[in-house]
Structure 1
């Protein structure tokens, strides 16, 4: 119940920030919009940043 309430709250506000997501086709970027997710291909700078973070881990 708490999880569904939090998801509805997130859906209401959405998110303007893109976050990396490892999809079936590789790395993609996504952000939460009211009621759905929006996806796009990462830029070269975002790929480089993600590879750097993976190397640090």
Structure 2
């Protein structure tokens, strides 16, 4: 499950950062939010590999 969440977060973050950098979600802008999602997704993937 962590692997699926990690991959989903990386894809969603990449789409936000690359294609919607000026989009606003409340007080968040697309590019910084996308970068944070990619980092969180990467951490989740590393944790899922480390557990095995």
TM tier relative to shorter chain:
0.3 to 0.5
Larger Rg: 1
Bigger helix fraction: 2
Q: TM-score by structure 1 length?
A: 0.31
- Larger relative CO (CA 8 A, sep 6+): 1 or 2? 2
